[in-house]
Structure 1
């Protein structure tokens, strides 16, 4: 849909451009937000650091709670398609306070990942320029703190500008960028399978798929937290439910399909990378701390030869696409919070031309830029630490939403086997698994040796990031509860009309 076309589009009850996205568009948006090339280059190394060669096992285990939670999201969306997703559904199930906390968890997680996305984009932007011109000094520019920060903020600004032009403009860019990154990622895997292994060879081993072989539960939980991070983003399919065709059904199907496609990509990439590089802590091994910082930046040359520049382009495409699509979730969550008056009404404003929550999008961009600048000045290991902290935030709001599904449908859980499984057992198991991972990672992250080893006063930086973010959310909630009490008294939650439980089957 063109920019001009969006001005005459049908609008949802909140003013968004309804009927703009079909099933394919939602799946592409989900893949774009997950950004498989970006997530793998940033997470493969830290995950190997925790679980060694058991990458496929931890990916499979991480997939299971994601799928179970996605089924719960699908049921909630069938009952109430709402751009606020976790915020709105948690508020319906548990009341305004828990709803606000759920919304804050989503906004915090996306703020972290947006800053991380922009940081990876900066590294690969200057790597691409260096490869293109043959000048190593251009590659080194990403290590200059202030050049890095300014470039990162520029990338965030461009992504915000595109998002503010409308969902149609965003999708026009997404199709090209997603296709490019998937083409190069599969090319990398094929080339890795065709190359001779580097360093100590790793023959294919079914034990890679055995999670019980991981050394300790702490390592398992930390690896799983990172695995959760690389699957995160599929819920954007539900965030755009009010802008999708068949809003009660298509977004839920798109979310489940997105998770399945991503699992296949991850397993192929993990096997190809393990076979080629191994897990040694020297040379090109994935256990090498230098390699772990940015896997594809170091392996693309040995694997792809003169075509390595394509990987730099793919990571740029992946981060650029995800920067745009990831802004959708926090912007629409902030928009929904403004609509229900959990935030000032200004957040609920819609641009009449693009039918987008422009003010909420600008605020999300500003928050991501501020977070990145703060973290970059605070820690040299900002990428690794924010990825781990992000995993904790994801576990928090996903588990809360999964539990909200069970409680929301508590009266109909035993009406049928389908209800018991999809509204009760599946989200309960998925949410419980994520809650355990969150608790274990929260305890472990207090150690100064956790993650990258960065710490303040002997407390791990990952733990500090998570605690500060959660406490900030509680403080802001207290301020808004005092300034705009209508939401917290339950008055504004009556705006939406829910579908009757017996009518959900037709839309599921």
Structure 2
């Protein structure tokens, strides 16, 4: 056991205690995953990689999420800390890997914030077009200046709500999450009705082969599908970053994470089967293989499936992306708060609003960085949504994988003679973490090809690779700058490496 350095800092960060219960945490978790937004952006790219094996990939992608979530739950039970990946990896592997784990989470959230804003803009103008009956309004989203300006407005509003703390966040999310789930189920039922009455373009019966992951053509296609599948589940870990503000901090967040993932996989399989049955995977018309509709599936299918009430789908995706845009701020803000608190970033990031007991400074920084990133990406890539989704899958595989292995290493030896502890602290996170890191490496290699993703490239290198691996490389550079500026954290003076007391294990057992 490592002795605590003299300069170890207190873990209390000034956040409000007991602001969220189990139901509120699950609602915020679903909101961050944003099923309506996620599916409209991911169904097309995933189908282009694995074809009719969408359900199989969704199920296989669910497995490492579940295994990793068990590791998250064990770590949270031992040391509930808003820094999650950053703090836990630092305690397990030391400050250098911990810092990069935190950077991976921050990079992923910046990517998804930009993507959320882009989807929100597209559906905002599509909704206005449908309401007014003027098709030209929908084309405003393709105007770069209008698109970026609208995105900045959405980002500012989401930042303002998040700045006001979890109480404001929770109230907004109850309404928006319920609305999008109801509309998605309505869409699925309507699609199946079309299949039954023979009016669907493809009209396919559900085939057991759709659930066979071995039917995917190659390992590269499989890894690409899994990377994208990981993206659609991403966001459940937000319930862990709220642990210091949740009632029952050691147990409630872990339970909320598992409940969130279980609810989402059922919803996703329902929608995937409905869309496959209705559209098929052809490359023409409404087929999922049609490149013209892959970036925004619901925009193309809502009208044919839902008829005159298709505007509800536009409202649903808009509500989904806007809600997730707001709730997604929770993770990067609290991660930067923890990094500032422990001296891994400048002290300004550790500021907490006295009025709202939220990480105000870090929330604003998250909004500014995400806004700047989106504006730059919109100029560089015509298919910014597809490229950021592909890169996000890589980022998520990286930091989820690191956190899962941190669980294995942190609790090493503590499961001796305890089958339940061995499964939850060792085997499950080990398998989940290794799988995700393998998918990360495979996708990184494949994405160097300029034709990967949307086909956007810079100097002959695929844009997805530059976004995914390039952002990680940038993290290494920033880390060394922080080491020069504030070496205390990197010397282990603020976070103890290893289990500092038996309370860590006691908390896990009690949960």
Q: TM-score range by the shorter chain?
A: over 0.9
**2:95 maps to what in 1?**
96
Secondary structure class of the residue paired with 1:299: helix
Tell me whether 1:503 sits opposite 2:502 in the alignment. no
Corresponding residue for residue 477 of structure 2: 475
| Cα distance, 1:500 vs structure 2 | 2.5
Instruction: Identify which of 322, 325, 328 aligns with 1:323.
Output: 325
Q: 1:502 and 1:323, CA in 2 relative to 1: closer, same or farther beyond 3 A? A: closer
Task: Check whether the contact 1:402–1:431 (CA below 8 A) recurs between aligned residues.
Answer: yes
Cα gap change, 1:128 to 1:502, in 2 (>3 Å): closer
Give, in angstroms, the shift of residue 505 of structure 1: 4.6
What is the distance in 1 between the residues matched to 2:365 and 2:470? 19
After superposition, the Cα gap between the structure-2 partners of 1:479 and 1:188, relative to the gap in structure 1 and judged at 3 Å, is same
Aligned length: 498
Quick check: 1:79–1:499 contact (8 Å CA) kept in 2?
no
Give the structure 1 partner of residue 136 of structure 2. 137
Kept in 2, the 8 Å contact 1:79–1:498? The answer is no
1:167 maps to which residue? Answer: 166
Distance, in Å, in 2 between the alignment partners of 1:500 and 1:20 is: 24
What CA RMSD, in Å, does the superposition of the two structures yield over aligned residues? 1.4
Give, in angstroms, the shift of residue 506 of structure 1. 4.4
Q: Does structure 2 retain, via aligned residues, the 8 Å contact 1:197–1:275?
A: no
Secondary structure of 2:310 counterpart: helix
Residue 103 of structure 1: CA displacement? 0.2
Q: 1:311 to 1:175 in 2, by over 3 A?
A: same
The 3-state SS of whatever aligns with 1:418 is helix
For the residues of structure 1 that align with 2:284 and 2:508, how far apart are their CA atoms? 56
Partner of 1:193: 192
Deviation at 1:494, TM superposition (A): 4.2
Deviates more, 1:403-412 or 1:485-494: 485-494
Hey, what does 2:247 align to over in structure 1?
245
Partners of 2:416 and 2:14 in 1: how far apart?
Answer: 37
Whole-angstrom CA distance in 2 between matches of 1:368 and 1:108: 10
Measured after TM superposition, the shift of residue 266 of structure 1 is 0.3
- Checking the alignment, whether the CA contact within 8 Å between 2:79 and 2:504 is kept in structure 1 is no
* Deviation for aligned residue 1:199: 3.1
The question of 1:389 aligning with 2:391 is answered: yes
Structure 2 CA distance for partners of 1:97 and 1:324, relative to 1, 3 Å:
same
Cα displacement string for residues 108-161 of structure 1 (whole angstroms, at most 9, x for unaligned residues): 000000000000000000000000111111111000011000000110010000
Q: How does 1:203-352 map to 2 (within 5 A)?
A: 203-352=205-354
Report how far residue 365 of structure 1 moved.
0.4
Aligned partner of residue 356 in structure 2, secondary structure: coil
Q: CA 1:369 to 1:505, structure 2 compared with 1: closer, same or farther past 3 Å?
A: closer
CA distance in 2, matches of 1:415, 1:493: 30
Matched, 1:107 2:109: no
Q: Do the aligned partners of residues 502 and 96 (structure 1) sit closer, same or farther apart at CA in structure 2, a change above 3 Å counting?
A: closer
Instruction: Tell me the CA shift for residue 202 of structure 1.
Output: 2.0
The DSSP-based 3-state class of the residue aligned with 1:486 is helix
- 1:24–1:131 distance in 2 versus 1, CA, 3 Å: same
Question: Which stretches of structure 1, 4 residues or longer, exceed 6 Å deviation after superposition?
Answer: none
Is residue 100–residue 476 contact of structure 2 (8 Å, CA) maintained in 1?
Answer: yes
Q: Secondary structure at the match of 1:13?
A: coil
TM-score (norm 2): 0.96
CA offset digits 1:39-70 (Å, max 9, x no partner): 00000000000000111000000000000000
Contact 2:159 2:367 in 1 (8 A): yes
Unaligned runs of 5+ in 1: 1-11
Following TM superposition, by how much is the alpha carbon of 1:504 offset from its aligned partner in structure 2, in angstroms? 2.9
Deviation at 1:213, TM superposition (A): 0.5
Please list the CA deviations of residues 366-385 of structure 1 after superposition, one character each: whole Å capped at 9, or x if unmatched.
11101101110000010001
CA contact (8 A) 2:191 2:200 kept: no
8 Å contact kept, 1:233–1:326: yes
Per-residue deviation at 1:435? 0.7
Question: d(CA) in 2 for partners of 1:504 and 1:20?
Answer: 21
Match of 1:4 in 2: none
Instruction: Identify if the C-alpha distance between structure 1 residues 200 and 183 changes in structure 2 by more than 3 Å, giving closer, same or farther.
Output: closer
- Secondary structure (helix, strand or coil) at the match of 2:15 reads coil
The Cα offsets for residues 306-328 of structure 1, whole Å up to 9 and x where unpaired, read as: 00000000001101110111000
